[in-house]
Amino acid sequence: MTHAIVRNSNPFWIDEKHDFIQSFLNHPRIIHAELSTNNDEYDIVVIGTGLSGAGCVYWLRKLYPVERFPRILLLEKNARPCSGASGRNGGFLWPSYDYLVGYAEDFGYENGCQWIEFQHENIRSIAQAVEENKIDCDINITRGNVALARNTEELKNIVKSYELMKDYLETHSKTKMSLDNLELWDHEKCQEMLHSDKFIGGLFMRESGTVWVAKLVYGLLKYCLDQPGVELITQGKVIRIEDSKNIILENGRVIVARQAIVHATNAYAVEYLDFVRDKIIPTRGQCCRSKPMETIFWPFGLSAHDGREYYHQSPKDGCIVFGGCRWRSPDTEHNNQNDAEVNHLIGEEHKKFFSLWHPGIAEKSLTVEIDQEWTGIMGFTVDHLPLIGPLPNDSKQFLLAGYNGNGMPNGFLCAKAIARMIANDDPCREGEENNTVTFLKMFLPERFDNPNIVQTSQKNRH
């Protein structure tokens, strides 16, 4: 049972004080569920308006003519889009190079390395979409991120991950990844770069960085709503699906999806979809943002404790965004879907972190003061793989969920894969033709009926 919670959740990224939110909500194709008098039949209905949902509709309109899918609906249970995990995270955008040793142990060497390559391509795809559509979202994928080791065990895993990636790149010469993107840090380098003697090593990843995710999602949604035949309904909470086409809302309204339903709802899917109830574990994460600071301590992002803590500092105002420390909660925030409140035990760890691990800040007579704190609900899966693809034995319903806290490195290309599947295209082919990875078959939900999918690597493309 979670310890008593005493403070409200106030996510900075989707705070109503930001002008981009209100200006977007004035779009004429955003309809309140209670007020809509439109025809309730659509070709495709995408439930969820975070990065995955917005990304799926974005790719459907980018890749295929309007005539293929004339009417598309985005369905949001809240009053505003992007109110879930996409609007409540830490804003990081980096491939999980430092997790590679774990990926290889759990899913095999080839699958693990290809998953990193997939994440690498995902980040480049996001950057390309931002540039093409001139989305103002503070994206920076050249500032870099460093995964830090506090003890020898953590350092061993980081070094092993680096060595595995080095071996992969040596044997896959045509890949778009490069070892020049990675740099191992020793204790001396950490002291020089971090102004702290608490970390004994790290792995710096150059092509990675940060993004204001809510601004990114709102930019993608604007693109979608500016296209013919796309609408967005707010305050339309789904309570069940009937006959793989009828979407029943809480107010009794029925929306019909003629061709496909996409469940881009991450942890929320457990509330209305039977298939995921024993496969997705809703897990609450917690973040905070400091008051502005005059000194910029790190121009790059950082993570520690095997990724359990993560933080970066805004180059604009010096504010530090920090997240993690779920371990401080007795139940590690599993099976907790309340993002309206924060856990004060975790909040106390947030307050202590910088004095413990970056004492150089106090030595400069400075203090990290928390200004806002918030929570968001992640979808962890029982086998630590995302759920991307059609439901087993149901070609009309598609899952786009279960990112295990890593939605940003995976979600945009997963959304593209679902768009391809809806159109009966092979989501892997584009990657195979371009010496990269655009989908991994081990993500398919049918793995729960056919475990061999995970053991079977994609064919060697290089």
Higher pLDDT, 363 or 87: 87
* Neighbour count for residue 421 (Cβ, 10 Å): 20
Task: Please compute the mean of the pLDDT values over residues 166-173 and round it to a whole number.
Answer: 95
pLDDT tens, 4-15?
445 688 899 999
Domain containing 183 equals 142-211+281-379
Same domain, 368 and 323: yes
pLDDT range class, residue 453, cuts 50, 70, 90: confident
pLDDT tens, 23-70?
999 999 998 877 765 569 999 999 999 999 999 999 999 999 999 999
Same domain, 173 and 307: yes
Residue 281 clears pLDDT 50, i.e. is over it: yes
Task: Please compute the mean of the pLDDT values over residues 383-412 and round it to a whole number.
Answer: 97
Out of 379, 412, 447, a domain closes at: 379
pLDDT tens, 196-247?
999 999 999 999 999 999 999 999 999 999 999 999 999 999 999 999 999 9
Residue 38: the pLDDT is: 59
Q: In 3D, which of 158, 143, 162 has the Cα closest to residue 208?
A: 143
Same domain, 198 and 226: no
Same domain, 171 and 74: no
Task: Please compute the mean of the pLDDT values over residues 421-427 and round it to a whole number.
Answer: 98
Residue 102 lies in a domain: no
pLDDT range class, residue 308, cuts 50, 70, 90: very high
Residue 7: the pLDDT is: 61
Predicted structure pTM score: 0.95
Residue 462 clears pLDDT 90, i.e. is over it: no
pLDDT range class, residue 1, cuts 50, 70, 90: very low
Residue 279: both structure tokens together? 């496969």
Same domain, 150 and 197: yes
CATH no. for residue 73?
Answer: 3.50.50.60
Same domain, 249 and 223: yes
Out of 360, 379, 398, a domain closes at: 379
Spatial separation of the C-alpha atoms in residues 108 and 113, rounded to whole Å: 9
CATH no. for residue 373?
Answer: 3.30.9.10
> What is the number of domains present in the chain?
2
What is the overall mean pLDDT for the chain?
A: 94
Residue 108 lies in a domain: no
Residue 13 lies in a domain: yes
